[in-house]
Amino acid sequence: MRQRTRILNGGKVNGPQQLEHVVVTGVAGFIGSHLTAALLKQGASVLGIDRRPPSHDPTAAQNLADLTAQPGFTLVERDLMDLDLERFAKGASAVFHLAGVPGVRPSWGDRFADYLTSNVMTTQRLLEACAAMGVPRLVLASSSSVYGTGADRPSREEDLPTPLSPYGVTKLAAERLALAYALRPSTPTSVVALRYFTVYGPQQRSDMAIYRVLEAALTRRPMRLYGDGTQRRDFTYVDDAVAATIAAASAPARAEVVNVGGGRTYSMQHVLDCAAEITGFDIPIIRASRQSGDVETTAADLTKAERLLRYRPSTSLIEGMTSQWKWALNQPGALWAQ
């Protein structure tokens, strides 16, 4: 019998039903671990899949530390390419597919094969499993990187994607695969693909800009700033991204792509100024040229997100960075730099 599904819009419950059992791939990652914590808090059982074993990966261990002891959580430490995915998809009311290799700059060169396998091939295998097992909804993590340079206005979902990096190409390919499966006649699995815009917050990946800015404040070691600081990003606090992701599990949709952003853009210079205000330290930087695949501006048009997900971001940049700074100060070894 199909699992009951609670209607969740912007993190608010609008009905008596609930997501009872879900699958989260990439559970040891930044967004995946936050999403899992929120789902468990709402009463769902979560089967999390990740190829990074906490016993050998310090980041995975840190992200999973508060999850592994919870009775509603089950961890599967395997690569999606090696699993019998039908077995794990069976009985799920939703699958949240967040697994993949991230990062624009590392996607050039010899690592592309890993990007292709992890971002595209695993998505196809998971879509087959969801269709075979009758999973009603797959929520796919995509990226603003599919837009490329964009237009002189916030990017809309109907804009022509022109990714400028191999990473963006693989995320767009995963999107198109997922939509093709959802639109196949008689398929039981609908899809909502979420184009995340620069998600940040506690547990953010160490290669991301806000992490590196706050690390520079903490350690007094200069951070490398690519470009002149005028490039702008739409920064999305992780709690807002999670609210949108949960809402996507029950949004009225067959095959949709939806932007998830922070509501406005900020220059990197503004981020540096905010960090100085929060930490009390000027941020030491080393200037470097812009890298291949970097775009000048990212900005999300959130009209569709508000209509379909009832999503409105609620965390300002200064609030989100303050939370991330407090988290950073509480990490092992953080205070030695003071």
List the catalytic residues.
167
* Alpha-helical runs (H) found in 57-137: 58-64, 85-89, 112-116, 122-133
Q: How far is CA 12 from the centre of its chain?
A: 20
> Are the C-beta atoms of residues 44 and 4 closer than 8 Å to each other?
no
> Are the C-beta atoms of residues 196 and 236 closer than 8 Å to each other?
yes
d(CA 277, CA 285): 16
Tokens of residue 152, six digits: 């002189």
- Packing angle of the helix pair 268-279, 209-219 (nearest 10 deg): 40
Tokens of residue 177, six digits: 């695969």
Cβ-proximal residues to 29 (8 Å cutoff; 6+ apart), any chain = 50, 63, 98, 99
| Element housing 236 (H / E) | strand 236-237
Tokens of residue 326, six digits: 């407090």
